[in-house]
Amino acid sequence: MRAILSLPKTWIERIALVIALLILFLAVFGPWIAPYDPTQIDLRNRLAPPSATHWLGTDSAGRDVLSRLLAGAQVTILSTVTVIAAALAIGLAVGITSAFVGGTLDNLLMRFSDIWLSFPPLILALGFAAALGASLEAAIVALIVSWWPNYARLSRMITADILTRKFIASADALGVPTHRKVTHYVLPNAFDVMIIQVTLDIAAVMLAISGLSFIGVGAQIPAPEWGVMIAEGRSHVSSAWWTVTFPGLMIFVTALGFNVVGDMLRREFDPTLQRRG
Amino acid sequence: MRYVLQRIVFSVASLFVLVVITFTLGHIMPGDPAIAAAGPNAGAERIAEVRARMGLDQPLIVQFAIYCGNVLRGDFGVSWFTHQPIVNDLARELPPSLELVIIAMTINLAIALPLGLVTARYHGSRFDDLVRLFAIAGAGLPIFWTAILLQQTVAAQWDLLPLSGRISFENRRFEAASGFFLFESLLRGEFRIFRDVLAHLLLPAFALSLLFTAVGVRITRTAMIGEFRKDYVVLARAKGASEARIMFRHVFPNGATPSLTVFGMQFGWMLGATVLVEEIFGRPGVGRYAVKAVTQNDIHSVVAVVFVIGVVFLLANLLVDILLYLLNPAKKRGL
Amino acid sequence: MHADAPHVADPLLSLRDVTVALREGARTMVSGVSFSVGRGEIFGIVGESGSGKTMLTRTLFGLHDDAVVADGRVSFDGKDIPVAGYQRHMRRLLGRRIGLIAQDPYASLNPAMRVGMQIAEALYLGRGIPMRSARARQIAIELLRDVGINEAERAVDQYPDQFSGGMRQRIVIAMALSQEPQLLIADEPTTALDAITQRRIVDLIVERSRTRGVSVILISHNLELLRQSVDRVAVLYGGQLLNLLPAAEIGTRPAHPYTEALLACMPGRVRRVEDIRAIPGDPVGAGAGRIGCAFAPRCAHAVPACATAPLPLNDGLAGRFSACLLGMGA
């Protein structure tokens, strides 16, 4: 943890790290520190501009925007983490296995992943939504299905590279079993690169989820998800700009924060990016 | 030449995988589609009849073969909510989306390539830092949010560009056989209409392109920086080449190669993202069509859209590969 | 030749107390270097990695991104080049009077441009001959033949990746010579090549330059190679010029302790393996920015004063020089 805190080199990076940690914090504790109940409707107070009582105003059903934003952090981040964790698990399993097995199967799997990667996740998600009904769960499944080839390719590349290194030969000579090779040789070496990819993906997945929710095939009304909030506020945007601006700002700032943190990690850990001496 | 053939074979294989995927999608619905198609009051006999008619009682392989055959003939079935053959719907909805993506891609390339080149040349400078900041910020902007904001400010408040739609009310009777308003109006010399259509395209295209441009700048920049560091650039300088010559005749042709690959993929991704701006700007397109289909639970229409977009994606990539092959001689020998 | 090491009269390139520093932080990398290169002279610069030899040379000719000439006097062909705006002035001379041959032949040529066109570009930039003219093509073919590329007519239309490393280096040499420079800089031109090709390439450079009266600065970490090929050698270590001597004197006349140490640890001369001595300690990089001799910590003859006293002066025009406080090799 200390190591991470010491990484930022510019003020932008410091702010980004703070934002990222803050969002993670909100993901866990968001609903508890919200000043109002995010689901409480108060139709007499709808579309109220930001004020002392409602710092970010109220939406079309009179709900406090700030509270919904805080609650939304939980929905958004949990969905994102679910997608990435599942995609990572599947991707690692497929990629590492593929690298170990090698040969035609390896080739086929990677070609397959390449093709799979080409499809825009949004459209694929629409497909799943049509098949399974529009819901946050369907969107999550769709995104997992879209995303795992990313990790499969990456882990396969890393594993294949590690397998060519000399210390694997000595491990073979010592009779180290395969599963131990994976846990003790592959995973630790892959960790750095994976962490970078995961951090950068957080922003991308988050944008995808909020995008899907916006068009109605992700989280559904009246969930406090940021994309849904923008969809709900859209019809009132000319008179009540706060219903659209603040949720969007949240998405933007969060994505930006994780992107900068991901870049920061990449600068530290990615050896291919080192400047020539 | 062998390289091109290789790429074509790969594309065909990818097409096949695409068909498999869309077939799977079309058949993973929970519940029995025959029941849904037969209606709420159908008895067991009627359901069996429908099932036979839909070919659902055949083994999966046979169904798949039938599906392949249909796809090759362009028969995607009939849409449940337009009651038209889906392929007709697609022919109508695809061109507007393609126009949008083409304009967005043009904006992307026009900004990303020069900026990437210049920031690579002057990397470390304040200008470079500023551009990189914008690029990182741009990569975090939700497309639909940007679209709404742009619509509100540029169109609604400042009245610089049209608010929504594909063409002005006064030009609404414009017909294009190909469906491509932009190109047909240009070809027919109807410049007033061309300007009108273009004006309606600018805001949505810009909103759509922003995120991709931000990524494009960074990728181009990295590729160009890599080239600038190479020895042949130092040698070119030693020969007495001006910085301009080095940038345009040496670095750019070599650095553009890796970035072009990404731009090719972005074309497909953009097409998938059109749904986000079509809704907001009230434009027709495959995105809106697909969303409508989803709300109507019309799986076949959505699957057809997935397929078509996949095809466009493969075509774009194939074109980029061929372009690279023409540009980069090393590939000619299959290196 | 320069067997007696007299002063260099009418030098082509003259350095006097030149300091090279990094742009960022103004950190001194090379200091107090003075030497001259005569017209038509083949001049060698030897040093280990990190000695500053590449940085010095590239910066001298305005080709280094991160370093500048911070101090000292540099004159080329009789004209002084001011320190202010140095790179700009120097760049004007590139391509017309100075040519470069770099270390890695696999990276020196633009992979997307035909070999003939790259030579034609050099002809255009250096002599104003239109790039797509028949004349340019003819000259390119002749040059390729001259550097030993058979089937020059076919080669001129091919791409760099169709040639081996040695042949690519020949093309680079042809390209440099095409501009009819007064000075050729060969920056470790053979490091990426095998031993036999190394010999051939160096011989090619030296021969072609001598016939044309072109001066050459040949940089290498291989003292033996230089001893066999050049007229005089400058020895760099830790950003300092420690020794300057005629190639003929290497091994026959006592030189600076570092030069002697270099000789002692090289195989290749008549020497038994057991006699090869590695130099104790680790090499120091350029930029230590010290006063006193950079080699002192590892020198067998060093006295305490060596590490602190300023080095002896070198007017830059001498045929021979040793920076040793104890006068060894002078």
Each residue of A127-138: pLDDT tens digit? 777 777 778 888
> Which amino acid, residue A173?
A
Quote the CA–CA distance of C235 and A276 in Å, as a whole number.
25
Tens of pLDDT, residue by residue over C245-271, are 899 888 888 888 888 888 877 765 555
Q: Which chains contact A through at least 3 pairs of Cβ atoms less than 8 Å apart?
A: B
Least confidently predicted of A24-33, B167-176, C94-103, C196-205: B167-176
Segment A102-108 mean pLDDT = 79
Phi, psi of B81 (to 5 degrees): -110, -20
Burial track B298-329 (b if 16+ CB lie within 10 A, e otherwise)? bbbbbbbbbbbbbbbbbebbbebbeebbeebb
Q: Which pairs from C318-321 meet CB under 8 Å and 24+ separation?
A: C318/C5, C318/C7, C318/C8, C318/C244, C319/C2, C319/C4, C319/C5, C319/C6, C319/C7, C319/C8, C319/C232, C319/C244, C319/C246, C320/C5, C320/C244, C320/C245, C320/C246, C320/C249, C321/C34, C321/C35, C321/C241, C321/C243, C321/C244, C321/C245
**Whose structure tokens read 């790259």?**
C118
Which pTM value belongs to this model?
Answer: 0.80
Sequence-ordered strand ranges (E) for C156-253: 183-187, 215-220, 232-237, 240-246
Cα–Cα distance between A170 and A175 in angstroms, integer?
Answer: 9
Point out the least confidently predicted range of A202-206, C94-98, C221-225.
Answer: C94-98
Residue A273 pLDDT: 47
Cβ–Cβ contact A255 with B under 8 A:
yes
Q: What is the mean pLDDT of residues A129-156?
A: 85
The H-assigned helical ranges of chain A are 2-5, 11-33, 65-101, 103-117, 121-132, 136-163, 166-174, 178-181, 187-215, 226-234, 242-269
- Six-digit token string for A106: 């390896």
Q: What is the pLDDT of residue C37?
A: 92
Statement: residue C3 has pLDDT above 50 = no
**Pairs of CB atoms within 8 A across A/B:** 151
Mean pLDDT for B91-96 is 88
Nearest to C107 among B231, B250, B333 (CB): B231
pLDDT band of residue A252 (cuts 50, 70, 90) is: very high
Least confident of A26-40, C55-69, C249-263: A26-40
Among B212, B234, B275, the residue to mutate for chain A (most A Cβ within 10 A): B275
Confidence at residue B334, expressed as pLDDT on a 0 to 100 scale:
42
**pLDDT over 90 (residue B157):** no
Residue among A95, A29, A83 nearest A202 (CA): A83
Query: Mean pLDDT over residues B135-159, rounded?
Result: 88
Is residue C70 within 8 A of residue C87, CB to CB? The reply is: no
Residue B108 has pLDDT above 90, yes or no: yes
Closest to A210 (Cα-Cα) out of A235, A228, A196, A187: A228
Structure tokens at A189: 């070496």
**Smallest Cα distance from B240 to chain C, Å:** 4
| Tokens describing residue A206 | 């988050």
**Statement: residue B38 has pLDDT above 80:** no
Q: Do B238 and C63 touch (CB under 8 A)?
A: yes
Q: What is the mean pLDDT of residues A118-126?
A: 77
DSSP-derived 3-state class of residue C217: strand
For residue B297, the chain A residues in CB contact (below 8 A) are 130, 133
Distance of CA C127 to the CA centre of its chain: 24
Three-class DSSP labels, A109-164: HHHHHHHHHCCCHHHHHHHHHHHHCCCHHHHHHHHHHHHHHHHHHHHHHHHHHHHC
When comparing pLDDT for B94 and A116, which is higher? B94
The reported pLDDT for the residue numbered B169 is 77
Q: Give tens-digit pLDDT for C37-59.
A: 999 999 999 988 878 888 898 89
Q: Among positive and negative, which fits the CA dihedral B36, B40, B45, B50? A: negative
Residue B335 scores a pLDDT above 70? no
* Interface-testing mutation among A113, A118, A261, with chain B (most B C-beta atoms within 10 A): A118
Q: What is the largest CA-CA distance in chain C?
A: 67
Q: C244, C233 in Cβ contact below 8 A?
A: yes
Interacting residues of C94 by C-beta distance below 8 A, sequence separation 6+: B237, B238, B239, B240, C61, C62, C63, C100
At residue C28, the pLDDT reads 83
Residue B29: pLDDT band (50, 70, 90) is low
pLDDT reported for residue C173 = 92
Subunits close to B (at least 3 CB pairs below 8 A):
A, C
* Reported confidence tier of residue C282, pLDDT bands at 50, 70, 90: low
What's the CA gap between B109 and B267, in Å, rounded? 11
- pLDDT at residue A62, as a whole number: 79
Flag if B139 and A259 touch (Cβ within 8 Å).
Answer: yes
| Bridge partners for C218 per DSSP | C44, C186
What separation, in Å, do the N-terminal and C-terminal C-alpha atoms of chain C show? 19
Task: Please check whether residue A58 is in contact with residue A35, taking contact to mean a CB–CB distance below 8 angstroms.
Answer: no
> What are C244's strand-pairing partners?
C234, C321
Query: Which of A115, A126, A238 has the CB atom closest to B152's CB atom?
Result: A238
CB proximity list for B38: less than 8 A, separation 6 or greater: B46, B47, B49, B50
Looking at per-residue pLDDT, the higher value among C306 and C162 belongs to: C162
CA distance linking residue C194 with residue C191, whole number of Å: 8
Considering only CB atoms, A124 lies closest to which of B10, B13, B306, namely B306
Q: What is the pLDDT of residue B61?
A: 79
The one-letter amino acid at A71 = A
Cβ neighbours of A134 in B, within 8 Å:
294-295
Longest dimension (CA), chain A: 76
Residue type, C252: T
CB contact under 8 A, B148 and A237: yes
Q: Is B232's CB within 8 Å of C125's CB? A: no
Chain B hits for A118, CB-CB cut-off 8 Å, are: 14, 265, 268, 310, 313-314, 317
**Phi (first) and psi of residue C42, to 5 degrees:** -100, 110
Residue scoring higher pLDDT (C44 or B164):
C44
Higher pLDDT pick, C168 / C93: C168
Q: Hey, is the C-beta of A230 within 8 angstroms of any chain B C-beta?
A: yes
Across residues A219-243, what is the average pLDDT?
85
CB pairs under 8 A between B and C: 77
What are the E-state strand segments in C98-176? 98-101
Q: Which residues pair with C45 in a beta bridge?
A: C219, C234
Chain B environment of C103 (Cβ under 8 Å) = 231
Lowest-confidence range among A162-166, B15-19, B144-148, C282-286?
Answer: C282-286
Q: What is the mean pLDDT of residues C58-73?
A: 87
Q: Where does the pLDDT of residue B73 fall: very low under 50, low under 70, confident under 90, or very high at 90 and above?
A: confident
Digit-coded pLDDT (tens) for B13-24: 778 877 887 777
Condensed to tens digits (0 to 9), the pLDDT of residues C99-128 reads 899 888 888 999 888 999 999 999 999 888
Touching check for A198 and chain B: CB below 8 Å?
no
Compute the nearest-CA separation of B230 from chain C (Å).
7
* A:148-187 residues touching chain B, CB 8 A cutoff: none
- Structure-model confidence comparison of residues B69 and A260, the more confident one: A260
With pLDDT > 90 as the criterion, what percentage of chain C qualifies? 23
Predicted confidence at residue B34, as pLDDT, reads 63
pLDDT at residue C288 greater than cutoff 60: no
Chain B CB contacts of C91 below 8 Å = 237, 240
Nearest-CA residue of chain C relative to B251?
A: C110
If you search the block for the tokens 């891609």, which residue do you land on? B105
**Tens digits of residue pLDDT in B196-209:** 888 888 999 999 99
pLDDT confidence of residue B195: 86
**Kind of pairing, strands C79-81 and C67-76?**
antiparallel
Task: Supply the pLDDT for residue B164.
Answer: 81
Q: Which residues contact A159 (CB under 8 A, 6 or more apart)?
A: A95, A96, A99, A100, A186, A190
B interface with C, Cβ–Cβ < 8 A, is 230-232, 234-241, 249-250, 253-254, 327-330, 333, 335
